[in-house]
Structure 1
């Protein structure tokens, strides 16, 4: 008979995962996905295929008395040729909602990006390793292990020194959010420090993060996935990827937004729905894309390559998009009283840029993520705001 001091292996199954939309059985274990299989079959590029498989916001959730927990995983890390390898992704372990321990996993597969523009890559296979957490508080507790937000992570085995049981439902509202690499967590140092994770903690909600690096492009398959995902609150943050990839002109943009919202409303007809524009990004405020990487001085920065004069011909900038989003929400207000608009510059604007500049001119640093998360919590979850928890 096993005692609490024996090592117990618990299968990693979908019922102890949260924040995912699908799981895939692999040769090694279980791979969480943030888009369902039907949507994944429609993805047109490798960048989005990689981004949706990076488990931003995905976590294991269980109840246990264990003081030592081990999680065997096979990570796939992304490295850009010619640049130093980034630090290993961080696993955040929370006990009863508070960050209690962190771990990293070295090794694993390496995806070498050989061209930043085309995102072409080469894959080198590596070994599985273990994230180990020791010295955890004794006694019954709810444990969450948030997976690295920028590493594809195949889950192999969970080992503990006490039995594991499924955690009861938290009873918290579910917030479904879609956005770009900033929502995905670019430049955040660990998974519970992305701005959506910070805002979710402050708002007391369960996060399902569909922020995809480079992938907030009003794709119909993303709208259908959100339509079919249970949620109490929904937000869509759109603008920066459409401008910096230069995929659309003004004539097509507003109808695409309407179509995206129409699809969401098929599954969530009265759910509070917040449409959010881009945060301040000076290089794209009035200059069309596409963006191009600039390595001048050995530091990666981005610059807009479009001609501002072409706005008259329908080229999009962030200011043009903000005006259109506000107009779309105003147009729909008669039929959709639960649709709201939030200007992204209220999350991160000129004052924030002066205090926490964008290191690469597009993505906020860790302090910027905290500022955005705090502002979103105040403007979305605060009293009288669209996501306020109204009872009675």
Structure 2
């Protein structure tokens, strides 16, 4: 979908500039026409010559350096682009854009364009979380600018947290989806999809709870991809540290009973329900109102079953497509097929969480899809975004048969 697409890549100063070089290469390999614009600070990390060689075009830095006297460069580039991507986007350029400042080549061009703008932030974790930066990003979202959220991990400054520029492959994929959606009718247009994500917490006392290792990454990826495919999304999410998709309806819950109540509220109007949340199977029989103090000897915690949300949805199902998830450690096929039939689901997405690259917290997954018609097939190791899209395309096929 990127063949002959005109992409203006704006590179601002930060250690992640090296990833922008890789992004330039991958976009060019995908068939896009890429022109690069750099801030002076970006040129301190990677030379313009690198981007010139990778893009096979002149690199633009100085607004007064007109390479073609027949045109005004920043206006010409603003009009030329099908899309503008800022990667990495520093706190500085985000602040300039939000406040209409035009004091260099990049900021001036951004004010002059009517093309879609995609922003891929990269900065220190505390800078990213600063109220001023967050406010500026909210302002840009109100301008209909799109964000490619940074990932979490080890940062060059030595901190670990959110602030890493998203991988070039993921940015290319998101741009491909963007152009794909512009050129064809979206397959989930008009469909209402309910997605559950993340863990639940079952309280023992005011300071302790039972939970699990789910991060919500798979459910949030499903929500992002469902929106990209045209669906209206209700995301019912347990406590996670992820940024919710902008255009989804977000319902925050904490306990299994709260998740059950919220899912049932919207079930009747749903076309599809994808239950990817890792809901606690048990909850303490008694939740103490005060912190439990240490006592001599052993202590017994009495548990009782929570409601099986997928089972209850299966019992009440009318026309909905119902998709469940199964995180297993052994006998994957046996348990997945058993769950599929017992809970009256249309598809179970199963994975062995002990497999490298497929457990909780990873940005990748390896899943096998078990369908009601008796077919099943394994997907290779993919990003969770790619896995989510593959799952949703199976849902599209099931909806066609309804």
Q: TM-score, normalised by structure 1?
A: 0.34
Which has a greater percent of helix?
2
